Structure 1
Amino acid sequence: MNGPALQTFAAECAQGLPGAQLEHPFGPDWDVFKVRGKVFMLMTEVPGRPVVILKTDPGEAQALQEHNSHITPGYHMNKKHWITLEGGTGVDEELVTELVTDSYLLVVSHLPKAEQPVDPHACGTGTRVGR
């Protein structure tokens, strides 16, 4: 999947999640997806390359980066808790769906229970580290 297709598909995934909202707090060059006011995904271009920036578990972030050259530390974000995904070989709809959903559920799990649009523990996750 190339960069523009990656961003289009990631945006479709994010917009389908309960309570997800698209905002542009950093200007028109940044798409910011939030759930209950908390960021779970950002999209922009990094010197001509479309990227998707996602929250992730620190342990998984390192494993994902080791197994996929298209996953790097989060651009302009905490490198321990965020990853940057760009298009390329091995980046497919299944991987993007899992990474977007995992990011969303990670943020939802830290919201007060009364504000959670879904029960994050009832949803299955499973990022494919070996990709």
Structure 2
Amino acid sequence: MDAAGWEQQGCQLCEREHYAAAIAAFDRAIAGDPTFSKAWNSRGNALSGLKRFAEALAAYDRAVLMQPNYHQAWFNRGLLLTEMMAYGTALECFDRAIDLHPDPCYLHARETVWLNQKLTPFLVY
């Protein structure tokens, strides 16, 4: 199977929440093509599903390093940073994704993060 086939298999495994198996498939895709930014992005999604945030962030970083105009990777990076409550950096990622592709989903995510960022100081832990 080629890199695209492994990436597709990994995405199917992610859809079924078999994240560890998906990561193995994405690793096979990346071994076949280390510059395959879609596989790096998808690997980040699987790692995020396992709450392995540092590794997920590194995977998204690789995806956008190799393909700076990859709006989905910028969006996914923003989602991860939102989950990590790194709202300022998440907003930067959403802005980058929106600049590249003004998807309404991206706009909504940015507005939600902006609101969370404003409300966070008022939350009692």
The alignment's TM-score, normalised by the length of structure 2, stands at 0.26
Whose relative contact order is higher, 1 or 2, with alpha carbons under 8 Å and at least 6 apart?
1
More strand by share: 1
More helix by share: 2
The alignment's TM-score, normalised by the length of structure 1, stands at 0.26
